[in-house]
Amino acid sequence: MSELIAEKKALSTILEKFPFLEGKIDVQRRQRIISSPMERPLFEEVFSFVVTDGGFNCFHLVIGVDDGENLGFIYVLSNQDKVMLLLKQSAPKSNPAIKSVCATFPNALWHERELVDLFGTIVEELPEGPTYPLPDGWPAGNYPLRKEWKVEYFDKINMTYNPPATVGKEEE
Amino acid sequence: MAKNVVIPIGPQHPSLKEPACFTITLEGEKVVNAVVGTGYNHRGLEKACEARSYLQDIYIIERVCGICSHIHSTTFCQSVEELAGVEIPRRAAYIRTLMAELERLHSHLLWLGIAGHEVGFDTLLMYSWRDRELVLDILAMLGGNRVNYGINTLGGVRRDVTPEQIEKIRKVVDIVEERNKYYVQLALSETTLAARLGGIGKLSHDDAIKFGAVGPVSRAAEVADDIRVTDPYSAYDEVPVTAITDNHADVFGRTVVRVLEIMESVKMIRFCLDNLPDGDIAVKVPRKIPEGEAFVRTEAPRGEDAHYVRSNGTDKPDRVRVRAASEANWHGMKHMLEGDYLADVPIIIAAIDPCYSCTDRAIVLDNHDTGKQSVIDWRTLREYSINWYKARGIDTGKIKIADSHLIF
Amino acid sequence: MAKSLFEKAIDWGRRKSPWIIHFNAGACNGCDIEVVDAITPRFDVERFGLMLKGTPRHADVLVCTGAVTLQTRDRLKRIYEQMPDPKFVIAVGTCACSGGIFDGCYCVAGGIDAVIPVNVYVPGCAARPEAIIDAVVKLLTALENMQKGTPAAPVDDNVADVSALEEIENAVTEASAAAVHSDNQPADSATTGSQGGEE
Ligand code: SF4
């Protein structure tokens, strides 16, 4: 078992600033630090801290996940020592609003567009541009990576989504 | 309507993403703005993975990309193995490494040919693809298929390597090395090629980090970021890896990095063959994977390949996220194109090594002064660029190929 | 109905030098690489007179790879409509034949035949260059038979040939019927093309 020196160092920098995160953010294995989901105001504070003072200045990707009640967003950052930090944000499905990180990391653009298309996230301050990656003519309000969205009910020819309850009605 | 009609000649690359069309704004012959349009190849694999078992997913993931197929399945298998807490046998790790390096060989040779094609040096395309066939034969022998080898499985590999196969691999590797020496020489000392590739598609050290470039694109800008070194997986903790870097930070640098990497791969393949440990090739992995999450990075021929897998205790994953290498490199594309001449556009795009089909797409030109739009396809643009350079005395078609390397 | 010398010359040209266009409708690239492989030295499909072209307006044969994604669906139709008659389609790879491993994904409409009529199917994941060459040769033989007016005369005892021939004939009549409308009303012929896509 290696000592995980770089990992512990990076972790202690974060914990020094945010002592209440103790236990919520930990070293998973070599080169991985994983946090538990945080609500928006706290997440933004932690995120800007790790980027500016924590040394995590390299952005890799953001992963969207469906946690049932909430949507989760996992931001993957890394620092000089190649330690990857998986910082999680969560937002309620009813109003999944998050703030864009494009101003700091231009390469987040496509990842955030993907969150908009596939999860129905509201990304504030996202630069204008084409949607990605869903095709033209995709019915609004359908977010395919949400768990409740089932591919069986999607009519690809007419591009409509017909969950069982509404199928009968539409035929009339 | 007319404004948006772009004929996507061969949209793009496989992975869930990757563009089909570019909108390029010109001022005279200079590119002042470039917008990358994407989404033509989005198939919805991530959702499909959630509905299938881990074992079935390997085969879907393998088909994210037909060129880096092995590395995608390796990454996925590794994530699942990490979740299940199993360690694969050393022999399996070595075989995975061997396959990965063979795949790198074929992918870089492929790229070399494409790059030659884009600059009007078609002889190189024919030569390097001919050499690539030899590597494909080996891959087909080991995995049973030329493109999607299907050699990975959860807990190890599906096929063993026999001593006779090792002999064959050695022979092919010798030939490829011999031929590649010539390509190295060509890339490093051929003045026409240097004049054609040098100074275009610049992406400086800082920009490479800022835009999150990966693989040869970032290594050509002196970012020594090779996952095989920084985060060793499979057998890379034992196999000696040297990260090749270059300080040109342009298309020329990317070419140099790639041809030198072929040499490195050859060394690594030999090392794997010499030190192949005995033992099993696979261990059993439970069907149901315990709850957890894993984020794994590997070094694909095109750069960092990252997979995130989350399990919920059943035999199907809860979430699979694939970030292919080319996807990371597209972010810097706009930056690389801006300020360069229209004639350089094809090779700059090809230089990040998007898979072949994605370089075969339509381009929208937008004239800054007149505000007029015109659509041209990839081939026209390529011909335009070759002639543009010919008029300036750089004709790659005239490069003589050394005869001594024609022995088959 | 005897053919004029001019028509014969065109027939001959079509048989001896078909121009192809390659379109990736959403493939994993494996098959695309194999298609390109087929024109490089080891396989060299150009010896059959085949030439890879950049624009559909010059092409006789559409070589299509990959399952059709919803985004490429309309583009594929448009490319097909732009090709001059008679036109032929080769579907390369399992996912071009049926959707293959991607069938059922939310963004995949199905195989190529869900959108446009297909003449020759080349299964395989990825289809080997040898298989692609075989498909080309079969198509050319079928074409020759059709030009001679010989009814279904397979090259060998492979059943696929008979159906390929019939399909070619159907496609030609269908496509020329469609082309009449498509000049000012592209949407019209689009529906003709998608008759296989009910599922
Ligand atoms: S048939 Fe297989 S190799 Fe060919 S494009 Fe489809 S998935 Fe890729």
Predicted confidence band at B406 (pLDDT cuts at 50, 70, 90)?
A: very low
Stronger pLDDT, B29 or C123, i.e. the higher one: C123
CA of B14 to the centre of ligand 1 (A): 10
Q: Cβ–Cβ of C70/A151 closer than 8 Å?
A: no
Chain A residue numbers with beta carbons less than 8 Å from the beta carbon of B327 are 110
Predicted confidence band at B3 (pLDDT cuts at 50, 70, 90)?
A: very low
Ligand 1, pocket-test mutation among C24, C28, C63, most atoms within 8 A of CB? C28
Q: Is B297 on the interface with A (CB under 8 A)?
A: yes
Span B146-183, pLDDT tens digits: 888 888 999 899 989 999 999 999 999 998 898 888 88
Chain A residue numbers with beta carbons less than 8 Å from the beta carbon of B293 are 34
Chain A residue numbers with beta carbons less than 8 Å from the beta carbon of C71 are 135-136
pLDDT given at position A4: 81
**Minimal C-alpha gap between B211 and chain A (Å):** 5
Domain segments of chain B as ranges: 45-328
Q: At what angle do helices A5-17 and A40-52 cross, to 10 degrees?
A: 130
Span B26-44, pLDDT tens digits: 766 777 666 666 666 677 7
Q: Stretch B81-104: mean pLDDT, rounded?
A: 92
Predicted confidence band at B366 (pLDDT cuts at 50, 70, 90)?
A: low
Ligand 1 site, residue B63, Cβ cutoff 6 A = yes
Chain C residue numbers with beta carbons less than 8 Å from the beta carbon of B357 are 24, 27, 29, 32
Q: pLDDT in tens for each of the 172 residues of chain A?
A: 457 888 888 888 888 888 888 888 888 888 888 888 888 888 888 888 888 888 888 888 888 888 888 888 999 988 888 888 888 999 998 888 888 888 888 888 888 888 888 888 888 888 877 777 777 778 888 888 888 888 888 887 888 888 777 544 444 3
B242 membership: H or E segment, kind and range: none
Chain C residue numbers with beta carbons less than 8 Å from the beta carbon of B40 are 26, 69, 71-72, 75
Q: Stretch B307-316: mean pLDDT, rounded?
A: 89
Q: Which amino acid is residue C47, in one-letter code?
A: R
CATH classification number, B45-328, choose in 3.30.70.120, 2.40.37.10, 1.10.8.60, 1.10.645.10: 1.10.645.10
The Cβ-side half-sphere exposure at A48, using a 13 Å CA radius, reads 8
According to CATH, the topology of domain C5-148 is Rossmann fold (3.40.50)
Nearest CA to ligand 1 atom 5: C27
| Facing residue for B44 by CB, picked from C55, C106, C126 | C106
pLDDT given at position A13: 87
pLDDT given at position B22: 66
Chain B residue numbers with beta carbons less than 8 Å from the beta carbon of A105 are 210, 212
Ligand 1 site, residue C30, Cβ cutoff 6 A = yes
User: For residue C20, which phi and psi values (nearest 5 degrees)?
Assistant: -120, 155
Closest CA to B368 of B34, B26, B29: B26
pLDDT given at position B358: 41
User: For residue A95, which phi and psi values (nearest 5 degrees)?
Assistant: -145, 75
Q: Stretch C112-125: mean pLDDT, rounded?
A: 89
Predicted confidence band at B101 (pLDDT cuts at 50, 70, 90)?
A: very high
Share of chain C above pLDDT 90, in %: 3
The two tokens of residue A50 are 């790790």
Q: Is B308 on the interface with C (CB under 8 A)?
A: no
Nearest chain A residue (CA) to B46? A145
Share of chain B above pLDDT 70, in %: 80
Residue B237's Cβ-count burial label (10 Å; 0-12, 13-18, 19+) is exposed
Closest CA to C112 of C121, C79, A134: C121
| Facing residue for A133 by CB, picked from B16, B306, B310 | B16
Q: Residue C157 above 50 pLDDT? A: no
CA angle B110, B321, B156 (to 5 degrees): 70
- Least confident interval from A128-132, B136-140, B403-407: B403-407
pLDDT given at position C174: 57
Ligand 1 site, residue C66, Cβ cutoff 6 A = yes
Q: Which residues make Cβ contacts (< 8 Å) with residue B107, sequence separation at least 6?
A: B67, B68, B301, B302, B353
Nearest chain A residue (CA) to C196? A157
The two tokens of residue C78 are 């448009």
Q: Is C75 on the interface with B (CB under 8 A)?
A: yes
**Minimal C-alpha gap between B36 and chain A (Å):** 9
Q: Cβ–Cβ of A135/C69 closer than 8 Å?
A: yes
Q: Residue B369 above 80 pLDDT? A: no
Q: Is B1 on the interface with A (CB under 8 A)?
A: no
Q: Residue B130 above 80 pLDDT? A: yes
**Minimal C-alpha gap between A74 and chain B (Å):** 10
DSSP A61: E
Q: Cβ–Cβ of C37/B129 closer than 8 Å?
A: yes
Substitution target in C19, C21, C22, C24 with the highest count of B β-carbons within 10 Å is: C24
Span C17-33, pLDDT tens digits: 888 888 877 777 788 88
**Minimal C-alpha gap between A87 and chain B (Å):** 12
Share of chain B above pLDDT 90, in %: 16
Span A118-155, pLDDT tens digits: 888 888 888 877 777 777 778 888 888 888 888 888 88
Span B245-262, pLDDT tens digits: 888 888 888 888 999 999
Buried b or exposed e, range B297-307, using 16+ CB within 10 angstroms? bbbbbbbbbbb
DSSP B313: S
Predicted confidence band at C52 (pLDDT cuts at 50, 70, 90)?
A: confident
Buried b or exposed e, range B336-368, using 16+ CB within 10 angstroms? bbeebbbbbbbbbbbbbbbbbbbbbbbbbbbee
pLDDT given at position B273: 92
Neighbours of chain B (3+ CB pairs under 8 A): A, C
Chain A residue numbers with beta carbons less than 8 Å from the beta carbon of C105 are 151
Q: Beta B19-27 vs B362-367: how paired, if at all?
A: parallel
Q: How far apart are CA B153 and CA B170, in angstroms?
A: 25
pLDDT given at position C56: 77
CA of B173 to the centre of ligand 1 (A): 27
Substitution target in C69, C107, C108 with the highest count of A β-carbons within 10 Å is: C107
Chain A residue numbers with beta carbons less than 8 Å from the beta carbon of B231 are 30-31, 82
Domain segments of chain A as ranges: 5-161
- Least confident interval from A7-11, B79-83, B369-373: B369-373
- Average pLDDT of every residue of chain B: 79
Find the length of chain A: 172
CA of A49 to the centre of ligand 1 (A): 45
Nearest chain A residue (CA) to C109? A156
CA of C126 to the centre of ligand 1 (A): 5
Q: Which H, E and C letters describe chain C, residue by residue?
A: CCCCHHHHHHHHHHHHCCEEEEEECCCCCHHHHHHHHCCCCCCCHHHHCCEECCCHHHCCEEEEECCEEHHHHHHHHHHHHHCCCCCEEEEECHHHHHCHHHCCCCCEEECHHHCCCCCEEECCCCCCHHHHHHHHHHHHHHHHHHHHCCCCCCCCCCCHHHHHHHHHHHHHHHHHHHHHHHCCCHHHHHHHHHHHCCC
Q: Is C108 on the interface with B (CB under 8 A)?
A: yes
Ligand 1 site, residue B243, Cβ cutoff 6 A = no
Q: Cβ–Cβ of C106/A154 closer than 8 Å?
A: yes
pLDDT given at position B81: 92
The answer to whether the beta carbons of residues B220 and B254 sit under 8 Å apart is yes
Q: Residue B270 above 90 pLDDT? A: yes
| Facing residue for C126 by CB, picked from B45, B125, B146 | B146
CATH classification number, A5-161, choose in 3.40.50.2000, 3.30.460.80, 3.20.20.70, 3.20.20.150: 3.30.460.80
The answer to whether the beta carbons of residues A123 and A100 sit under 8 Å apart is yes
Ligand 1, pocket-test mutation among C22, C23, C24, C31, most atoms within 8 A of CB? C31
Tell me the CA distances in angstroms from C96 to C30, C89, C99, C107, one per residue in order. Answer: 12, 11, 6, 15
Q: What is the ipTM of this complex?
A: 0.87
pLDDT given at position B28: 66
Nearest CA to ligand 1 atom 6: C95
